[in-house]
Structure 1
């Protein structure tokens, strides 16, 4: 699903030759660097680099990978992904086994007050969420896959006010997951489903960009309370579970904080829903 050869080809095409001291003219037909230019700049033979891009060379050394990362101007996330792809033939990581969310983690969700919070796995399946998160998404959360939600359900409905940015983040995260767990059949199936159903997903997936989800601003357009500008923090959970605790908080005193409070009060006034988080039915 994801391989070293394909990643090298896409990264090579991004590099501006002039930026690495290679003169260009309008007769140049290659986008980015040529293979022999990457080989020269990284100090490896042209034949060896060609074999890397063709998937015929195995087990490149750490020094070679670091040199390629430097020439291709990879950031920290991309560099880690490059090393992970190179190790796949030697040691393929197993996908985390299916498991229920521990009761202790569910209690943590109960403790998050005034902010939507969810527990999510590497496939972007929501395994559990507190009541405010369910109100934000407008549905019970176990069973929701946020990548599927973004690409196949919400482009027209408009929950994600910055939809195009969300698509970049989602594909970048799934690319990282594919590098970590290349043999996860459920991840392979999800990528295939999204590729079949979304032309934008197909285009973004072909770029092979990777993004680490750590923190940042997410903007939602909620049908009941309006625009919500929230700060997302992703907390990786221990024990190699592939799970994250994701919390969406509003700046104190901001309109978003007031609107989240209003959203919670509308649910309380309705009286039809149990407060607090829902018991998850999903697995990791």
Structure 2
């Protein structure tokens, strides 16, 4: 896993993503969206693993979940294209391919994205919906 760096509260949550969508740092906004990072083993702090985690998606879901999942899957496909045998990528894609029919369906589209941008909406039970640009 890549080394972390300091994230200021004003930083964009997704500026702290590694090449394989690992959450490298955790700021207050990330905690509001994804919960306490200490509740997950460090190797589980990954956007795709969190998006397809059944224990999180029911409570902390995204109103436009599929579009966001496609964005991150497309970014993972771009990373895999540059290094198809990278152990981190094969571990994440392999695990999700085994345990999630929804991931398999979306992965089979073969969408590739260099990055994500635009508006993202998150449903947070302790607050109202949070919309990020």
The TM-score with structure 1 as length reference comes to 0.41
SS of structure 2 residue aligned to 1:215 = coil
Shift of residue 156, structure 1, vs aligned partner: 2.6
Gaps of 5+ in 1: 1-97, 232-284
In the other structure, the counterpart of 1:234 is none
Deviations 1:197-251 (Å, cap 9, x if unpaired)?
A: 11011112122111222411100111111111111xxxxxxxxxxxxxxxxxxxx
**1:225 paired to 2:127:** yes
Question: Are 1:189 and 2:91 counterparts?
Answer: yes
The yes-or-no answer on 1:100 pairing with 2:3 is yes
Once the two structures are TM-superposed, the CA of residue 155 in structure 1 deviates from its matched residue by 3.4
Taking the aligned partners of 1:113 and 1:121, their CA distance within structure 2 comes to 19
Q: Identify the match of residue 24 of structure 2 among 127, 149, 153.
A: 127
CA contact (8 A) 1:125 1:146 kept: yes
Match of 2:51 in 1: 150
**Cα offset, 1:131, TM superposition:** 2.4
Q: 1:211 & 1:117 partners in 2: Cα distance?
A: 15
Alpha-carbon separation, structure 1, partners of 2:70 and 2:79: 14
**The structure with more radius of gyration:** 1
Pairwise mapping of residues 208-223 of structure 1 onto structure 2 (< 5 A)? 208-223=110-125
Is residue 137 from structure 1 mapped to residue 34 from structure 2 by the alignment? yes
Q: How does 1:63-102 map to 2 (within 5 A)?
A: 98-101=1-4
Instruction: Say if 2:72 and 2:116, in contact at 8 Å, map to a contact too.
Output: no
Q: What secondary structure is seen at the aligned counterpart in 1 of 2:108?
A: helix
Q: Deviations over 1:159-180 (max 9, x none)?
A: 2121111121121111111101
Partners of 1:165 and 1:210 in 2: how far apart? 13
Q: Is the 8 A contact 1:117 1:129 kept in 2?
A: no
Q: 1:120 to 1:203 in 2, by over 3 A?
A: same
Paired residues, number: 128
Name the structure 2 match of 1:241.
none
Distance 1:150 1:189 in 2: 16
Q: Could you tell me the TM-score, scaled by structure 2's length?
A: 0.82
Return the alpha-carbon distance in structure 1 between the equivalents of residues 114 and 95 of structure 2: 22
SS of the aligned residue for 1:136 comes to helix
Q: Which moved more, 1:219-228 or 1:139-148?
A: 139-148
RMSD, aligned CA: 2.2
